[in-house]
Structure 1
Amino acid sequence: MAYRPSKKTKKTVLGIAGIAVLAGLNAPAALGFADEQYYEYKISRPAYKAKYGSWSQIDIPERYRTNAIHAALLHTGKVLIVAGSGNEQKKFDKGSFDTVLWDPRTDTFKKVPTPDDFFCSGHAQLPDGRMLVAGGTARYERLDGEVGRAGGGMRVKNENPDKAVVLKKGTVFRSPAGVDYTSRFDVTIPRARRNQIITYDRAGVMQPWKTKVTAGEARVFVEAEEEGPGSVTDRQAQYEIVGLRGEDAVNTYGLSERITLEKQDFQGIRAAYEFDPKAEKYIPVDPMDKARWYPTLVGLDDGRVLAVSGLDDVGVIDPGDNEIYDPRTKKWSPGPQRYFPTYPALFLTKGGKLFYPASNAGYGPADRGREAGLWDLRTNTFEKVPGLRDADETETSASLLLPPAQDQKVMILGGGGVGESKKSTRRTAVVDLKKDSPAFQDGPDLPQGTRYLNSVIMPDDSVFTTNGSEDYRGRSASNILKAQFYDPKGNVFHEAASPRVGRNYHSEALLLPDGRVATFGSDPLFDDQRNTKLGHFEQRMEVFTPPALHRNGKNRPVLGHGPEVLDQSHRATFATDRPERVAKARLMRPSAVTHTTDVEQRSIELGLTKTGNSVTVDVPRDPTLVPPGWYMLFVTDDQGTPSEAKWIQVT
């Protein structure tokens, strides 16, 4: 007789079968959860942290969360986080601009009034510890199909040698055909120049002086008052300035450039400010001669600052009209002319030349300004440096002057193709500038093709590299949650703990005075793998604690009392209870970083003398090696454990 289960048995069997089916369906999730739990356990172990380091997030009160576009360490120990409008058109339209000061010692924050839109400006450390901020955003881009009113550049002429002319935003320029165009910004047209001309008759007798007047000129972006193609023109003509009367109307007029319905790029501003770290406020200085958006500012050996590249006031990349800021006079003057793509990485080298490793970010044609080389500012000559693999993938790459600066080696890491290219490279390369004929040599490959990588020089002469994405702006969920240390002496990478927060475009990283690394920002194009949801700016901040601080953080070298300036011998002496523990000393310039470009950071090897209760450091006198300014002094033990930094001003 066949066995027939009871109703109760049937229910039990069906229940077990159902559980088995559910368990089978959920096995991947269960395994994933178990893997995640194990990973969390593993990275929390002291032994793991002592080998790879660790990450932690900073608790930022909501009112201080911002879109970190720029980050700079000040000699007060605080970090200046600049957003401006933060790549948000709505904030730009409202005139809502952000700057936040973060104190890493107390994890406290302060908002700073921000007078202009410093979104995509340039910045550099000044000798007295102030931060020069110049350029930024005058107008957001409009893509093809979004331009309803024709727009373009209008050159404005002033033939009056006795006075400059100021035209306010909204000034109307009328074409000979009666089409009106409105200026989008204030513009000042300098007065005309009088030039004395000497002439001679046939007998060689000097004739009475003649005066030639050269009109003053400025440029302003204008838009048609009427929508549609009827206002498009590529013909140059003289335009009446509506509202001017008498001699002003005769002497002042517009000359149109191309006025089109094509894509209109971001436009820059001329404004410049010094941020005072003690007063914690922006102080206006003379504006630049040229408007700049995406410029690089690089400090020179005499304390002046060179401003290079950027999009101008009509959205055109600067042709090479670079200029120099003098912090003593607070004024700008013309610099050597040379074209670069926007945000070029330019490193001051021994002897005063600037080295361009071909790293850049953003704008410029693929066939111009992309070759690496040494730029001599005095002669305005450029010596190309060969040997760079994947030379068409240097945009959004990281680069730095390797530690110590005396070695004069520059490294480039990763990068991608121009613009929205999907190409990215694993390539790293190093060039030794001390050689008679320097050329790039391949370094170790990154784990995968990487754009927007951030690289930070550490007190133990290693280089910490983190984050980035494989595709343009993290497209297709291509953020890279990896970090590694580069060892310049061994020319190898060593794995570091992985960050939790993905970062790509508009992200930054910098060294803090306590030896940790802070990471900020990220501006992905999309938030999902299928690229259907528009991205949101990453406002979380992570801090990396290196392995040495986990191994010996409670027993790190300590520098006691000492001076903030060097003596006449370029030395400084600091008290310490255990000078025998001090193995190395480094003078490290604080970062000012944006768009993976940080031309400020450098680490200088110092001479070291020990006594029974002190250490004395010897600082090189060469300002091309040690530009004037404030520096962090770190000492490390023989295991690379850093002290907390002491601040020293080099004059």
Structure 2
Amino acid sequence: MPPAPMWSPELRRGLARLLTFALLCAVGLVVGAPAQAAANLVRNPSMEASAKGFPQCWKRTGQGKQNFSYGVTSTARTGKAALRITIGAFTSGSRGAVMDCAPTVTKGRQYDLSVWYTSTSAATAMTLYRHDAKAGWQYWTDLATLPATKQFKQKTVRTPPVPAGTDRITFGVNLYGAGTLVTDDYRMVDATAAAPRSTCKIGERCFKGHWQVMPYQSSVRAIHAAVLRNGKVLLVAGSGNDPNAFKAGTFKSAVYDPNNGTFTNVPTPVDLFCAGHVALADGKVLVMGGTKDYAAADGSVGYKGLANSYLFDPTTNTYTRTNDMAASHWYPSATVLGNGDVISLGGLGADSSGTTTTEYFDASAGRWLPQNDVVQTWEWWGLYPAMVLMQDGRLFYTGSHTFGIGLPGSGARLYDYPNGKWTDVPGLQDKDFRDQSMSVLLPPAQDQRVFTVGGGNGDVGATAGRLTDIIDLKAANPRYTAGPLIPRGALANGQTQAADTGKMYVSLVLLPDGTVFETGGALHNRADPVFEASMYDPATNTFTPMAADPVPRTYHSSAFLLPDGRVMAVGDNPGNGSFDMRISVYTPPYLLRGTRPAITTLASTQWGYGSTQRITVDRAVTRASLIRPAAVTHSSDPNQRFVELPMTVNGNTIDLNVTNNPNIAPPGWYMLFVHGANGVPSVAKWVKVG
């Protein structure tokens, strides 16, 4: 059924955080004195010193509608004072307190934050804020959800590495519902592990990584790729943009095993060429739409879409048909929602005209809802419109699409599905020339920033651009701002491309270290490949050149993360109708720095929202994250996301704190990575969230 109303608990918490750090920005925080010899960086950690009835070096925070009170209680864990927050009648918002004397911090270092507490409510969150020299105070992340307890209980969480530009941090506990929260004995200590020296001695590879072109080729034209929960890769061709294969009814898919280089051919029921696809919570891949007919040679009739829909089961390597969608779609979007359902928009219909029907897949029932049961806008959203799920349940249309010129509005929109409304978002550069640009939700997903890169226009044959754009979806009125230009690369003839040219058909891959790998692309529609790759660092907003894939990757190409931390690239379909069947695999520099950590045990592979999950590792680790497996085609994978997992560390036993917001991590299977002090990630373990 349709997702939760907009005033969901997740949205209330999101708004509470926004207004809380807005208040922090407005009033400012007092700079604490430099840390002395004592390890604890918190001033007045036990609330014993007070002024005007409130603990010194602490500040009230909160907003919304509720009956609340603050007080200092003698029912303390130690000493004679603790901080009490009580909410009675509750409608919305939150109440909390944070350190007013915020300690200074150092870039790259990590800190263990702890608090002792009692609470009659489980509607609590340990929340972290950071102060940046340019941006001021801002919400950083929720560290953990705290279960209700009558007895004092301690919670300790390690921060992620402090990003560049952050000079102070503060934290506290927020109460999001009726109840009483008591906190005492706060602690903040530097917990940074010494980073071992890199063992890489292979020259340029140490800084740029390296590619390997596999000694075998793909058994199918890899136009669509989906990483499965068993680590294998579903490669879908359908007819593979081959009119002869379409006429013959030759439709192909294959499952590729990166571990042994084998392909298992899969019977493919219809032409799934240019379909949409997304992984569901159970690990099956939902595939919708495809090609009913090719365009006429004289251009009098365009491509036509299918209404068919299938579930691909990775345990049996088979497609099973669901009910049809309400309309036909060629190049449809597919975005998984926080309740596990899927929304699909755009594409071309059975008559080759733009499809205006919004489709909604009820995952629990395994069926597409009838058109009258779905909120409709009757808008045409284009071909493969990139729709990113936001933390409050809305969708953000990033402006990345395939083909098209003169699309209405500013090129990007905030879309409120339950109410059938949208709002234009300003700032996207050259909106009509972002054909086969790519957009990703930057690491970590909790930051709610989207990065849109490159693009051109296949309809008019324009030269692709180097533009990038960044938007903060947490802002009260989000708008795109210009990002750094894509680095220039080399053309097929070895010449360096001109300063004012860029690439379309670009691929962006979220990596376990929180960076974004940019690779592939071309100057023009199905022509002039650009040999360039780079690493984008969200913390510094910069690109660093990396080794380029030696295989051209233009139209119908994709790149995606494998569970071992490498990147696989497939496809290339130039204007002469040929298709490059070679497979390239990229080893990032982080895999050349030393020994990898390993996750030795998982207490469970089934992870609930707001839960704490225990793992053990074989050495000290500094970070943990979940990465949603790729389901990518045509520079489009709006479901790709990196979710930070705040850690509680006790030697080699690690407790990982899972977000309580399913819009941050929609239900499904994720790759779990941990990172050693040398920055090297583990091989991923698979866990199911939700």
Shared fold, TM over 0.5: yes
| Equivalent in the alignment of 2:329 | 292
The corresponding residue for 1:456 is: 509
- Which amino acid counterpart does residue 502 of structure 1 have in structure 2? P
Q: Of residues 570, 589, 606 in structure 1, which corresponds to 2:611?
A: 570
Corresponding position of 1:270: 307
Q: Distance in 2 between matches of 1:535 and 1:484?
A: 28
Match of 2:643 in 1: 604
Q: Mapping of 1:330-345 within 5 angstroms?
A: 330-333=366-369, 334=371, 335=374, 336-337=376-377, 338-345=379-386
1:67 aligned onto 2:221: yes
Q: Does 1:503 align with 2:543?
A: no
After superposition, residues 404-419 of structure 1 pair within 5 angstroms as 404-417=444-457, 419=459
- Cα distance in structure 1, aligned partners of 2:530 and 2:458: 20
- After superposition, the C-alpha distances for 1:123-168 in whole angstroms (9 at most, x for unaligned) are 0110111000011111111132xxxxxxxxxxxxxxxxxxxxxxxx
2:524 — aligned with what?
471
The answer for the alignment partner of 2:231 in structure 1 is 77
CA RMSD of aligned residues (A): 1.6
Do structure 1's residue 624 and structure 2's residue 663 form an aligned pair?
A: yes
The amino acid that maps onto 2:586 is F
Q: Which residue of 1 aligns with 2:261?
A: 107
SS in 2 for 1:56: strand
Aligned-partner Cα distance in 1 for 2:274–2:608: 39
Distance 1:479 1:304 in 2: 37
Q: In 2, are the aligned partners of 1:58 and 1:540 still within 8 Å (CA)?
A: yes
Q: Which residue of 2 aligns with 1:258?
A: none
**Which of 556, 569, 578 is 1:536 aligned to?**
578
Residue matched to 1:139: 293
Whether contact under 8 Å (1:70, 1:594) holds in the other structure is yes
Q: Deviations over 1:61-94 (max 9, x none)?
A: 6xx5221110000101100000000000111111
- Structure 2 matches for 1:277-426, cutoff 5 A? 277-318=314-355, 320-333=356-369, 334=371, 335=374, 336-337=376-377, 338-362=379-403, 364-368=404-408, 371-417=411-457, 419-426=459-466
Q: Which residue does the alignment assign to 1:171?
A: none
Aligned mate of 2:211, from 55, 64, 67: 55
Partner Cα separation in structure 1 for residue 679 and residue 284 of structure 2: 31
Opposite residue 283 of structure 1, the aligned amino acid is T
Correspondence for 1:494? 544
More deviation in 561-570 or 590-599?
Answer: 561-570
Change (3 A) 1:293 1:79: same
CA deviation after TM superposition for structure 1 residue 365, in Å: 4.8
Following TM superposition, by how much is the alpha carbon of 1:417 offset from its aligned partner in structure 2, in angstroms? 2.5
Structure 2 Cα separation of the partners of residues 414 and 649 of structure 1: 33
Deviates more, 1:418-427 or 1:348-357: 418-427
Q: 1:612, CA displacement in angstroms? A: 2.8
Q: Distance in 2 between matches of 1:401 and 1:617?
A: 22
Show the counterpart of 2:587. 545
What code does the residue aligned with 2:509 have?
V
Match of 1:558 in 2: 598
The answer as to 2:652 corresponding to 1:613 is yes
Q: 1:569 to 1:427 in 2, by over 3 A?
A: closer
Equivalent position amino acid for 2:655 in 1: T
Contact 1:71 1:79 (C-alpha < 8 Å) held by counterparts: yes
Contact 1:341 1:369 in 2 (8 A): no
Give secondary structure in 1 for the equivalent of 2:418. Answer: coil
Q: Summarize the Cα distance change of 1:411–1:385 in structure 2 as closer, same or farther, 3 Å threshold.
A: same
The structure in which a higher percent of residues are helix is: 1
Q: What SS does the corresponding residue of 2:247 show, helix, strand or coil? A: helix
Which whole-Å deviations, capped at 9, do the CAs of 1:323-373 have from their partners, x for residues lacking one? 1011222221233323211100010011001111111013x4523366112
- Answer with 1 or 2: which has the greater Rg: 1
Does structure 2 conserve the Cα–Cα contact (< 8 Å) formed by 1:519 and 1:543? yes
What SS does the corresponding residue of 1:378 show, helix, strand or coil?
Answer: helix
Question: 2: CA distance between counterparts of 1:290 and 1:92?
Answer: 21
Count, aligned residues: 472
Q: 1 or 2, which has the higher strand percentage? A: 2
Q: Distance in 2 between matches of 1:366 and 1:638?
A: 49
Aligned-partner Cα distance in 2 for 1:139–1:519: 28
The farther-off stretch of 410-419 and 424-433 is: 410-419
Q: Distance in 2 between matches of 1:411 and 1:109?
A: 34
Q: C-alpha separation between the residues in 2 aligned to 1:568 and 1:387? A: 35
Q: Secondary structure at the match of 2:673?
A: strand
TM-fit CA distance, 1:577: 2.2
Counterparts of 1:565 and 1:647 in 2: how far apart (Å)? 10
What residue number does 1:485 align with? 535
Gaps of 5+ in 2: 1-199, 489-500
Letter in structure 2 aligned against 1:404: P
Q: What is the CA–CA distance in structure 2 between the aligned matches of 1:610 and 1:623, rounded to whole Å? A: 25
CA distance in 1, matches of 2:657, 2:408: 43
- Corresponding letter in the other structure for 1:599: P
**Structure 2 counterpart of 1:536, one-letter code:** S
Give 1:569 shift. Answer: 5.5
1:437 and 2:473 matched: no
TM-score, length-scaled by structure 2: 0.67
User: For the Cα contact (< 8 Å) 1:292–1:310, is it kept in 2?
Assistant: yes
Cα distance in 2, alignment partners of residues 46 and 96 from structure 1: 46
Q: 1:595 & 1:370 partners in 2: Cα distance?
A: 22
Q: Aligned runs of 1:252-263 on 2, under 5 Å? A: 263=300
